[in-house]
Amino acid sequence: MKPSPEQDRLIPFGRVVDPSRDISIAAHRDATDRMRPICRPEVRPKFQIDARKSVFVIGSCFARAIEARLRDMGGLVPEFDFRMTAHEWPSLPSNLINKFTPASIHSEISWCHRIYVRGDGFQPADAEELLYDVGNGEVVDGGLMGLRPLSRERAIERRSALYDYFRNIFEAEAVVITLGLVECWWDSERRRFIEEVPLATPLRSHYAGRIHFYRLDYDRCRALLQETIRLVDSVHHPKKFLITTSPVPLARTFTDDDIIVANTYGKSLLRTVSGELAERAPNVDYFPSYESVVLTRDWSVYQDDLRHVSPSAAARVIAQVMERYFVNVSAAQRDLIASISAFHDDDVGTAIELAERSLAAEPASLSGWYHLAQCRQRAGASVKAVEAWERVCALAPDNVLAVHSLAVAHIAAGSPQAGAEVAEAYLSRHPHTPYAELALAMAYLAAQRFADCLAVTERLASARAATDVCHTVASQAHEALGDIGAALESARLAAKFRWQSDELKDRVADLERRLAGAVADGAPATAPVL
């Protein structure tokens, strides 16, 4: 049988070679300026987004970077801010809602859609299809990252908050979807996908026999995304969908392929599906953030782990999105966007000037004060940075990142006790919040309250909420108390988190030399090999 192309995709020859057609970005030889030093593909938007209306962002961890930068630049982006203890979730609340695959995006939206169209709001029974009993009166939510056990009552409370957050997608002006992976996990009894592989979780010991690995193919990816778009569009007004593929590579594969090959397969598939959906639907467009990052021949577009995109690279991508897609952007917001671009180009003086001008026009702008505080901190203006962070905390007193940043700014300004008081005040309202606990540990370290510092870091470690920063702080506190063995153990733990960090490698090597010297001199202290 001869292949027969779809008639609606055939373009007449005359139209393709029409001399009036704009081919200014068609030739490779003319793309040099868009390829270096930073890759910046040209985009021709199919639609525009009203900056005065809400944008909902869903997808992989890169979606959180997009979400944060859009919010920084004054975009109206809903935020998931359900406060959780370190035992419940070790990171920021917003990181809990990552959806890495088309399957998990569809699962979450279809669950939310059923409740939304039913019309009576979230009911406790709605959570049951997502909760897995793991004993001791605890459950695991299979639709979320981490798969951490918690009480059923608390899991239902969190699910209610998740519904309140995800329902915003049906009322948004535009939806940004970031696609990350194609490797999924399927519960064959409930016939639904779970968010991630249940390796070191109670889910594995209780349900391993019904969990199966599944790598999405092209047709399945396309069908899941088409159905997701249909569900979102079926409620209220038609939405505008901006789809992109995450440049963050796969951390590990569960296929037999080399990780490099497996990652290329997944990203290529997702990129192709995104392109086809954008080509076929008038309300779907593709934005080349993937190309902007992976085709830049400079490792500075990534963070130290060489996986996650650096804040400056993400800011450049979103500045282009704002520039090309958004309309009705106020003059103050344009100044803020320009300030953020200057900040990430290391022109801090210009960034401060533009941020202050933006705030003069919109003095109650949370994103404006947040950015100005970052600018002043980068410039070394510690006292002024404290003032700006205090304005942020006044506008958003329960924002843990702002509280953490204010505490750190106090430390930089030489007032660690003030930083400790900020963190303590927050923790009195919201106990065991990981980022506030970390700020408290840092303040105690700077105030030379080493025993208090270690009590906090040990609390975080026992809750499985210790990060590389937490272990580094603990290492420094142990060192200050003269316990080189414990300092080395904590430094090694920090280095396991950030194995690419030369600074941590050097610290481990230095502590190993010092410990070896102490043992040679007769000291009994040793550090275990991790």
Task: Give the model confidence (pLDDT) of 425-459 as tens digits.
Answer: 999 999 999 999 999 999 999 999 999 999 999 99
Contact 236, 284 (CB under 8 A): no
Between 127 and 297, where is the model more confident? 127
Q: What is the CA radius of gyration of the chain?
A: 25
Segment holding 56, helix H or strand E: strand 55-59
Average pLDDT over residues 292-304: 85
Tell me: the pLDDT tens digits for 61-83?
Answer: 888 888 887 887 788 899 998 88
Answer yes or no: do 323 and 346 share one domain: no
- In this structure, the answer to whether residues 314 and 387 fall within a common structural domain is no
Are 342 and 491 in a shared domain?
no
Return the amino acid letter for 388.
A
Q: Are residues 101 and 215 in the same domain?
A: yes
CA distance 310 to 304: 9
Measured at the CA of 324, the angle between CA 318 and CA 326, to 5 degrees, comes to 80
b/e burial code for range 146-162 (CB count within 10 A of at least 16 → b): bbbbbeeeebbebbbbb
Q: Across-strand partners of 187? A: 192, 211
pLDDT digits (tens, 9 = 90+) for 363-408: 999 989 999 999 999 999 999 999 999 999 999 999 999 999 999 9
Residue 149 lies in a domain: no
DSSP string across 63-108: HHHHHHHHHHTT-B---------TTT-SS-GGGGG---SHHHHHHH
Q: Let me know: does 141 contact 158? Beta carbons within 8 Å.
A: yes
Q: Are residues 165 and 71 in the same domain?
A: yes
Q: What is the pLDDT of residue 388?
A: 97
Domain count, the chain: 3
Full residue range of the structural domain in which residue 351 is found = 330-393
Q: Are 100 and 180 in contact (CB under 8 A)?
A: yes
Using CA atoms, how far apart are residues 316 and 302, in angstroms rounded to an integer?
A: 13
- Backbone region of residue 445 per phi and psi (left: phi > 0; alpha: psi in -120 to 50; beta: other values): alpha
Per-residue model confidence (pLDDT) at position 529: 39
The residue written with tokens 């080395």 in the block is 488
8 A C-beta contact, residue 104 and residue 220: no
pLDDT tens by residue, 142-188: 999 888 999 999 999 999 999 999 999 999 999 999 999 999 999 99
d(C-alpha 354, C-alpha 331), whole Å:
11
Q: At what angle do helices 218-233 and 102-118 cross, to 10 degrees?
A: 30
- Greater confidence (2 vs 196) lies with 196
Q: Which of 358, 376, 393 is the last residue of a domain?
A: 393
User: Does residue 488 surpass a pLDDT of 90?
Assistant: yes
3-state secondary structure of 141: strand
Q: Provide the sign of the torsion angle of the four alpha carbons 426, 431, 433, 436, taken in this order.
A: positive
Q: Does residue 431 lie in a domain region?
A: no
What CATH number corresponds to the domain at position 341?
1.25.40.10
Tell me which of 190 and 2 has the higher pLDDT.
190
What pLDDT sits at residue 448? 97
Identify the domain boundary among 375, 393, 411: 393
> Which of 29, 37, 79, 21 has its CA nearest to residue 54?
79
Count Cβ atoms within 10 A of the Cβ of residue 41 and give its class: 0-12 exposed, 13-18 middle, 19 or more buried: middle
Q: Domain check: are 510 and 389 in the same one?
A: no
Q: How many other β-carbons are positioned within 10 Å of the β-carbon of residue 102?
A: 29
The most confident of the ranges 71-80, 319-328, 473-482 is: 473-482
Instruction: Give yes or no: residues 75 and 126 share one domain.
Output: yes
- 523 — pLDDT class (breaks 50, 70, 90): low
By CB neighbour count within 10 A (0-12 exposed, 13-18 middle, 19+ buried), where does 367 fall?
buried
Structure tokens at 257: 């392929």
Q: Is the peptide bond before 37 cis (omega within 30 degrees of 0)?
A: yes
The answer to whether position 141 is within a domain reads no
Query: What is the crossing angle of helices 502-520 and 484-497, to 10°?
Result: 160
Question: Is pLDDT of 331 > 70?
Answer: yes
For helices 382-395 and 400-412, the axis angle rounded to 10 degrees is: 160
Task: Tell whether 75 and 214 lie within a shared domain.
Answer: yes
What are the b/e assignments for 281-312, b being 16+ CB within 10 Å?
A: eeebbbbbbbbbbbbbeeeebbbbeeebbbbb
Backbone angles phi, psi at 501, to 5 degrees: -75, 115
Percent of the chain at pLDDT > 70 equals 98
Closest CA to 313 of 328, 291, 331, 293: 293
Rounded to an integer, the average pLDDT of 506-510 is 94
User: Can you tell me whether residue 361 is helix, strand or coil?
Assistant: helix
Cβ neighbours of 131 (radius 10 Å)? 18
Same domain for 324 and 334, yes or no, is no
Q: Give the CATH number for residue 312.
A: 3.40.50
Phi-psi region of 266 (alpha: psi -120 to 50; beta: other; left: phi over 0): alpha
- Proportion of the chain above pLDDT 90, given as a percent: 65
Sign of CA dihedral 202, 203, 204, 205: positive
Residues in CB range of 420: below 8 A, 6 or more apart: 407, 440, 443, 444, 447, 449
In the predicted model, is pLDDT for residue 526 greater than 60? no
Domain co-membership, 335 together with 324 = no
Report pLDDT for 1: 57
Q: How far apart are CA 190 and CA 454, in angstroms?
A: 44
Whole-prediction pTM: 0.86
H or E stretch at 463: none
Check residue 527 and give its pLDDT: 46
Tokens 């049906």 belong to 170
- Which of helix, strand or coil describes residue 309? strand
Q: What is the pLDDT of residue 378?
A: 94
Which pair of structure tokens corresponds to residue 1? 């049988």
pLDDT of 521 reads 66
Mean pLDDT of 257-278: 96
Q: Is residue 321 part of a domain?
A: yes
- 161 shares a domain with 275: yes
- Model confidence at 530, pLDDT cuts 50, 70, 90, reads very low
The DSSP code for 172 is -
Q: Is the Cβ–Cβ distance between 165 and 78 less than 8 Å? A: yes
pLDDT over 90 (residue 104): yes
Same domain for 309 and 182, yes or no, is: yes
- Domain membership of residue 139 (yes or no) is no
447 assigned to some structural domain: no
Q: Which of 293, 309, 329 represents a domain boundary (last residue)?
A: 329
More confident residue, 198 or 284: 284
In a domain? residue 20: no
At 524 the pLDDT is: 55
In a domain, 92, yes or no: yes
How does residue 203 score in pLDDT terms, banded at 50, 70 and 90?
A: confident
| Helix or strand holding residue 520 (H, E) | helix 502-520
